[in-house]
Every structure is written in structure tokens, then in C-alpha cells.
Structure 1
Amino acid sequence: MHEDLNILIVDDHPMTVNGYINVLSEEKFEGYELSFTRALDCKQAYDHITEAKDSGKPFDIAYLDLSLPPYAEKNIFSGMDLGKLLREATPDCIIIILTMHSEASLIDRLIKEINPQGILCKSDIDIDEFLNAFKIVFAGNTYLSSKIVKSLKDKVFDNYNLDSYDKQILMRLTEGILTANIPNYIPLSLKDIEERKARMKNILMQGRGGNDQELIEAIKKIGIL
């Protein structure tokens, strides 16, 4: 006996919607029968979401493009608004955002207002990554495509006023390279590297200081690398 997995796919390009469905349909998901619902604009998506909730068969997974023809009558102007509607109507629905944009300000809004399980930048995913992302979020984990991750990391660097040399120093430290050997990888003197490390420890560790291992742990906790 297979359990139905109700999947909503919203994109204003019919060929894109059909492509997503074909990719997922060709994969076997043991114990599940995939059932797809298409929407090409905000109105269609709104109607499907409300009807699914009222019928007692809400969507388990929703793929939402952000740029969509609006449904002004219901104040639904984008995939962002649809995501918020889904979160209210079906809190347990797994939401995956599809977008051409990767600006950190947009990603911040998505996380704060919707907290989707996946955010995929259309320009850096292929069929294999699309399918892999589905499996990861369905298993209960979060998936961010590479441009989304880079955007978030770059924002963290901007927030802490760290430049490309700082980033290279941090990368070398996480690779286990001793400070004394870092000048072999970066065109800075050992004195400059030590000074940059001291400044980063002061910034990232809130003035507590500490050794290189503690700096690495601080880096990982903040999510810089």
C-alpha cells in the first residue's frame, strides 16, 4: 500500500513545471505515490492551496517560484506571499523556493518570513541537484544551493568587515595549515597575518581572545566557511 505524497508546483512557465514533474516522476520513492498539482500563477496556486486544505488533503511539498502573475484580489503578489499562505494553511508542508535571485536581503526575508526547507537558485541547479535537493528536504534536512550559500556567507563577511585576505587566512587555518606557513599561500607577511588573526579573534570571539582552534570553532559557529 503506497501513501500519496501531494506535491504542488508553481511556476509561470508550463515547460518548467512539466520538467520538474518529469524529473521527480522518473525516480522511485519506496512507499510513496507522487501526486502532482500544477499552478501557473498566484490565483491558481491560491485556489489549489485553499481547496486542498478544505478537502482534508493538504499539500505535503510545495515548489514555489518567486516571480509570478499576482492575485491582487487576495493580496497575493508573489511566491513569497504564497509561502506565507502555505505556512498558515498547512504548517507542516515542506516548502522549496525556486528563484533566479540570490541577494542576501531576499534570502534573509525568505528565512524570516517563511523558513523554507529548501532554497534553490535556478541558475546553479541541474537535474541531479534538483532531485538530490528533493531527497534531502524530504528526509527532514534543509537544502540551499551553492549561490544561496555563497550569498549568505558573503553577507556575514560584510557584517564583520572581513576582506578576501581575512577569508584566505581563515580557510588555511581550517585546512590545518600552521600560521607560520600561511605566507606561502597568501602574499602577506607573517606579521600582517598575525595582526589580522588578532583582529579577527577580537571581532569573532567578542574580545575574549583565544587560540587558533577556538577561532576555527567560532568561524564554524557563525557559518562563515
Structure 2
Amino acid sequence: MYKNDRLNLAIVDDHPMILEGLKSLLQEDPKFHIFSFTKGAAILDFIQENKVDVVLLDIVLSDGSGLDFCRAIKQKLPKTIVIAISNQAERSIIFRFLENGGNGYILKNADAQEIVKCIDNAINGDLALSKEVQEIMLRPSSQAFEIPRLTKREQQILESIAYGHTSAEIAEKLFISVITVETHRRNLLQKFKSKNMIELVKIAAENKLI
């Protein structure tokens, strides 16, 4: 696919240790010229003026969802390879990322060798999936679920929870009190029969409520 030209590879992750770890791992490969960003908006600005061949994109970023940033990158630069590198192991999130144009999905617990192999696979035109992601995708989806009816406010709060916002951030954004947000959170857990917020978001995503 590429011959002598170095590839511009951008890493987007708001965890400094992970960012530095990936940079030091990939800098050893002479075919890459590495750029790093802590916000999704920054990579969108960067690709306006610069050619980027590969983007390693975290799913949960401080300024939005990697799912949305993946779609936005692909709309601007359809040929750019976009690979998720994430702790999010939910089957529905993996599928949504790929539906949004993603070229692969790597869990952060993958070892260095596997990460490099996945990136090479994507460059060669294959789908880049770490071993654990392949196993998750092959599992049968959860059984049919009776979708609860949500109020407009509950829907707003559910979407904010999915983006990883805290109760305080949600309260500020929606101009309501933290206590009100916490009450809605408890109601959502009951409606979805969920043990915790991670399970709540997973069920909501699988049923396309977010």
C-alpha cells in the first residue's frame, strides 16, 4: 500500500502514560512519523491541514466519544485508517465503532507485539482486531430485552453517562441540581434492571438507545 514514504500516525488519548507508552512503542518503527493529541477536537483540526494515514483513537475522551470522532475523521478523510485503542470491551461499542467506519479495534490490555501486528494488518487492508476483541465479537448477543420508556430528561442523562460525564458535569450542562441527576441515575438503573452504570450503558447501546 505504501512504499518509501513514512506514514503519519496520530495517537489520540487523554491518559498521558498510555500516550507516551504508545509513542515510545511506535517510534521504534521507522515507517511511522508520530503525532499525539489528548483531545478529539485537536485531531479534527489537525487533519484539516495535514495528511494523516493512521489514527489510533481512544473511545472515551474528555471532549467527546471516539465513536463520533471516528465518523467525523472518516467523513473528512475516507482513506485514513482509524483504529480504536480502548478499555471499552462492550460488544455493542466495538460494533458501533466499526459501523462508523473504523478499521479495527484493539483493547489496551493487548501486548506491544499484538498492537503493532494489528496496525500492520490495517495498513495492509485487513480489519485490525486484537485477539480478545475477536472473541467478544463471536459471542452471541444478549437475550431480547424489553426496552423501557424514557422521558426526554432521562434520555439526556443516559447519553451524558455514556460519554463518561460525572453527575456534577451533567447537572451543570442541564441546569439542574446534582441531587436531581443522582435521582435520575437511580431511576435509570431500576428501569434497565442494571447493577451499575457500565451495565446500564451496555444495555442501552445494545438496544440503540444511545
Structure 1 length-normalised TM: 0.58
CA–CA distance in structure 1, aligned partners of residues 129 and 40 of structure 2: 24
Q: Which residue of 2 aligns with 1:80?
A: 67
Q: Which residue of 2 aligns with 1:152?
A: 137
CA–CA distance in structure 1, aligned partners of residues 18 and 143 of structure 2: 35
Q: Which residue of 1 aligns with 2:122?
A: 137
Whether 1:19 aligns to 2:21 is yes
1:91 maps to amino acid: P
1:63 to 56, 62, 76: 56
Q: Which residue of 1 aligns with 2:9?
A: 7
C-alpha distance after superposition, 1:105-144 (max 9, x if no partner): 1122112122x22101112x01111111122111221121
Whether 1:112 aligns to 2:104 is no
1:80 maps to amino acid: L
| Maintained 8 Å contact 2:27/2:34 | no
Structure 1 unaligned regions, length at least 5 = 53-57, 71-76, 160-225
CA–CA distance in structure 2, aligned partners of residues 158 and 108 of structure 1: 17
Tell me the secondary structure at the aligned position of residue 109 of structure 1. Answer: helix
| Maintained 8 Å contact 2:85/2:107 | yes
Which has more helix, going by share of residues? 1
Tell me the secondary structure at the aligned position of residue 155 of structure 1. Answer: coil
Q: Rg larger in 1 or in 2?
A: 1
CA–CA distance in structure 2, aligned partners of residues 6 and 147 of structure 1: 27
Q: Which residue of 1 aligns with 2:107?
A: 121
RMSD of Structure 2 on Structure 1 (CA): 2.0
2:46 to 24, 45, 48: 48
C-alpha distance after superposition, 1:132-174 (max 9, x if no partner): 1122111221121122112211126969xxxxxxxxxxxxxxx
1:136 maps to amino acid: N
Change in 2 beyond 3 A, CA 1:158/1:88: same
* Aligned length, in residue pairs: 142
2:93 maps to amino acid: L
Shift of 1:27: 2.7
Tell me the secondary structure at the aligned position of residue 92 of structure 1. Answer: coil
Report percent identity of matched pairs.
25
CA–CA distance in structure 2, aligned partners of residues 43 and 143 of structure 1: 24
Structure 2 length-normalised TM: 0.62
Structure 2 unaligned regions, length at least 5 = 145-210
C-alpha distance after superposition, 1:167-196 (max 9, x if no partner): xxxxxxxxxxxxxxxxxxxxxxxxxxxxxx
1:13 maps to amino acid: H
2:106 maps to amino acid: L
